[in-house]
Structure 1
Amino acid sequence: MRNELTQNLLLKSSDKNFIFLTGDLGFMALEPLKESLGERFINAGVAEQNMISVAAGLAQSGLKPWVYSIAPFVYARPFEQIRNDICLHELPVVLVGNGGGYGYGIMGPTHHAIDDYGALLGLNAMNVYIPAFDEDLSSIINLLFETKKPAYLRLGVDKKPKSFKVKPFSSWRNLFQGENATLLFIGPIVSEYLKLENNNFSCSVWLLSKLSNGENILDENFIHDVLRTRKLLIVEEHLEHGSAATMIAYELCKRNIHLEKFIHLCAKGYPSGKYGSQSFHQKESNIDSDSIFHSINRLIN
């Protein structure tokens, strides 16, 4: 998605208020943006805390700063500055974290972002965008250029089948309608489901691509679907603590919605103590296509 991000941001480069900051990362992808923005492209170096504070100052002066790095370097290392400088003042700084979830694979836990939106959604006014497909970036970037609040954009890898036709972006999307159960995927992990062949589950499949810490985060049509099936599976590449599933379960409880069956598949950290590719970690956490297949069978049988 990084290249797709660059191509879409190039279309915004004529906006003189647009400033792009990078923590000395993005090589072999951001060069066209650097050339287009000129002095409005700032390599802040390996100084993420300072980069966030600079971005806050730029936003305070009326500019539109975007901050880019590998995901844990953009939300974890400068967390205090995000909290104090950006979120307490509700400044419209866009944080772009590349490699959401286990995206950086073999580089290990220092480069993984499996607790990112759980950490950030505890902060004032924060919104999180989790595109599932390359095609989502255009709509999300348009929204972020109009935002008046802090935002985090979690980039992953689009692995959808070539034959899959992407529906227009929205926070909640109903990809398929079915009778037996309700399935909800957060961001690009939905591609693990789309890879399944001969899918005869007859389940409703939902995709969630935006999270916030406000009230009424649930889609009304999703609620009606859950009320109809009473069986819910949620899959996300994030730890259980602070997960989207915990937020959704809480909202369902507040509405006194009782489920017959509920399964949550999520990142489990490092069960074997070994590090490998993103696919390796997804399989270890049971969020790969085979594990999703077996979980759906458990849900509907």
Structure 2
Amino acid sequence: MRNVLCQSLLGQIADPAFVFLTGDLGFQALEPLRDAAAGRFINAGVAEQNMVSVAAGLAWSGLKSWVYSIAPFVYARPYEQIRNDVCMHDLPVKLVGNGGGYGYGVMGATHHALADYGALLCLEPMQVFVPAFAADVPPIIRRLGEFSHPAYLRLGRCELPAGYGLPVYSAWRQLLEGGGTALAVVGPLAGGILGAVSRLRVARRPNLWVITELPIRAGEIPPAFLSQVQSAGHLLVVEEHVAQGSVGQMLAHALVGLGKAPRRFTHRCALGYPTRSYGSQTFHRRECGLDPESILAELQS
């Protein structure tokens, strides 16, 4: 999604308030933005805490600050500065983290972001955007360009099955209809799962939704989703994030508050490192039961 991000941000340069800071990352992707933005593209170096404080100061002066690094470096290293300098003043600083979840695979736990959006959503008034597909990035960037609050954009790898036509972007989208389980997926996991469950016969096929914007507010949950949860009696939530602070927790809380709790609730999430081993993103997803085959088995159980 990095290349799509770059092309989308090029459309923001016409705004004289646009300014972009990177923590010495984005090579072989952000060069067109660097060249076009010139003095408004700042390489802040490997100094994420300082970078966020500078971005906050620029936003305080009236600019629209974008801050880029890999996901663990853009949220965990400067967390105090995000809280104190950005969120406490409700400044329009946009944090962009590439490789959310297990995205950086064999580089290990220091380069994984398994608790990013849960931690950031503790900081009011932070909003989070988790595009599932590359096509989601341009509309999100356009929205963030006019967004006057702190935001976090978690990027991953687009896994959209070939030939699938996406519905128009929205915070909640139904990607597949069926007669089975209500299935809610967060982020790029949706692509691989969509390809796998599409092979099920209609009666067993889930009603598959992808959730892109957080936090979840009870009044914004689509009525169609609520109806499907009630009729199916089983809700399966899948996300590449630990249970604490997760979409699964937020959604369960909202459904209980609405009196719409399903009879059965299953949450597939990041489990850390069950075997104390490191591998590719695919390896870690499989260990946690987040791979398409595991989700397919859950739906057929």
Shorter-chain TM range is: over 0.9
Residue 258 (structure 1) shift = 3.2
Mapped to 1, the partners of 2:72 and 2:263 lie a distance apart of: 37
SS at match of 1:216: helix
Q: What is the match of residue 29 of structure 2?
A: 29
Report the identity percentage.
51
Instruction: Establish whether residue 203 from structure 1 lines up as the match of residue 212 from structure 2.
Output: no
Alignment of 1:139-288 (within 5 A): 139-196=139-196, 198-200=199-201, 201-212=204-215, 216-288=219-291
Partner letter of residue 168 of structure 1?
Answer: V
Check whether the contact 1:20–1:40 (CA below 8 A) recurs between aligned residues: yes
SS at match of 2:146: coil
Check whether the contact 1:127–1:213 (CA below 8 A) recurs between aligned residues: no
Mapped to 2, the partners of 1:43 and 1:51 lie a distance apart of: 9
Check whether the contact 1:125–1:213 (CA below 8 A) recurs between aligned residues: no
Deviations 1:131-150 (A, max 9, x none): 00110011000110010110
Partner letter of residue 189 of structure 1?
Answer: L
| TM-score, with length taken from structure 2 | 0.96
Residue 214 (structure 1) shift = 5.5
Residue 261 (structure 1) shift = 1.6
Mapped to 1, the partners of 2:149 and 2:14 lie a distance apart of: 22
Mapped to 2, the partners of 1:222 and 1:92 lie a distance apart of: 32
Deviates more, 1:211-220 or 1:239-248: 211-220
Mapped to 1, the partners of 2:216 and 2:96 lie a distance apart of: 18
SS at match of 2:205: coil
Q: What is the match of residue 59 of structure 2?
A: 59
Partner letter of residue 200 of structure 2?
Answer: N
Partner letter of residue 208 of structure 1?
Answer: I
Residue 184 (structure 1) shift = 0.5
SS at match of 1:238: coil
Check whether the contact 1:132–1:187 (CA below 8 A) recurs between aligned residues: yes
Q: What is the match of residue 10 of structure 1?
A: 10
State the aligned residue count. Answer: 298
Deviates more, 1:164-173 or 1:221-230: 221-230
Provide closer, same or farther for how the CA distance between residues 83 and 128 of structure 1 changes in structure 2, counting only shifts above 3 A.
same
Check whether the contact 2:8–2:141 (CA below 8 A) recurs between aligned residues: yes
Q: How much is the aligned-residue C-alpha RMSD, in angstroms?
A: 1.2
Check whether the contact 1:211–1:217 (CA below 8 A) recurs between aligned residues: no
Mapped to 2, the partners of 1:24 and 1:217 lie a distance apart of: 38
Mapped to 2, the partners of 1:288 and 1:181 lie a distance apart of: 17
Deviations 1:119-139 (A, max 9, x none): 001101110000001100110
Partner letter of residue 206 of structure 1?
Answer: W
Q: What is the match of residue 79 of structure 1?
A: 79
Residue 213 (structure 1) shift = 6.6
Instruction: List structure 1 runs of 4+ shifted beyond 4 angstroms.
Output: none
Instruction: Establish whether residue 113 from structure 1 lines up as the match of residue 113 from structure 2.
Output: yes
SS at match of 2:175: strand
Partner letter of residue 242 of structure 2?
Answer: L
SS at match of 2:56: helix
